[in-house]
């Protein structure tokens, strides 16, 4: 599944906003930095010029990457989210059968994941194990510390899918 991206409409909008910012604001800022650095004279020993050009290359690479992602990504329509099974755009409440602790995760594509906020990728070990499962089903996740057994308790629409 390398180089395939899955985005929600909200995730797509965020990437489009970032792309627009890079194309309009950042490009202009870097162009100005290059112009100022050129005015310092000899470009062969001009650290400001070299740094500005490096930043320009980095930003152009990021722009190309975002454009490709947006062009090739599969967009998950909020209306197509099936709450009968765990999928991208769902929130799932699970029970760890060993610790008897409940946890809630939101499942999104890799570009929208935020582990600190329990937003996991469909490509993560837990995300992969949960995909396609229904309430009541048990899954086994292969983790570095051994197997983790989880039971799906509830499936709902993920936050922010509006």
- pLDDT at residue 130 above 50? yes
Report the C-alpha gap between 8 and 80 in whole angstroms.
Answer: 11
23 Cβ neighbours under 8 A, 6+ residues apart: 63
pLDDT confidence tier of residue 162, bands split at 50, 70 and 90 = very low
- Give the pLDDT confidence score for residue 97 in this predicted structure: 93
Give the chain's radius of gyration (CA, Å). 22
pLDDT confidence tier of residue 3, bands split at 50, 70 and 90 = low
> How many Å from the N-terminal Cα to the C-terminal Cα in the chain?
27
Query: What is the average per-residue pLDDT within 99-115?
Result: 91
- 14-69 confidence digits (pLDDT tens): 999 999 999 999 999 999 998 888 887 776 777 888 889 899 999 999 999 999 98
Mean pLDDT of all residues in the chain?
Answer: 88
- pLDDT at residue 74 above 60? yes
Which domains, ranges and CATH numbers included, belong to the chain?
Answer: 6-76 (1.10.287.180), 79-157 (3.10.50.30)
- Give the pLDDT confidence score for residue 1 in this predicted structure: 42
pTM attached to this predicted model: 0.72
How does DSSP assign 24-76, residue by residue? IIIHHHHHHHHHHHHTTS-GGG-HHHHHHHHHHHHHHHHHHHHHHHHHHPEEE
3-class SS of residue 105 = strand
């Amino acid at each position: 599944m390398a180089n395939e991206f899955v985005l929600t409409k909200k995730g797509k909008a965020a990437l489009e906003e970032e792309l627009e910012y890079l194309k309009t604001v950042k490009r202009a800022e870097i162009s100005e930095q290059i112009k100022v650095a050129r005015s310092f004279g000899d470009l062969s020993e001009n650290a400001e010029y070299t740094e500005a050009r490096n930043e320009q290359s980095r930003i152009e690479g990021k722009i190309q990457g975002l454009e490709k992602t947006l062009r090739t990504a599969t967009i998950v329509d909020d209306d197509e989210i099936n709450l009968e099974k765990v999928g991208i755009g769902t929130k799932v409440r699970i029970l760890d059968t060993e610790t008897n602790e409940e946890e809630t995760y939101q499942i999104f594509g890799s570009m929208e994941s935020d582990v600190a906020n329990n937003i996991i990728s469909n490509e993560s070990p837990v995300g992969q194990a949960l995909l396609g499962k229904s309430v009541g089903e048990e899954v086994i996740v292969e983790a570095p510390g051994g197997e983790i057994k989880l039971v799906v308790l509830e499936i709902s629409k993920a936050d922010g899918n509006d």
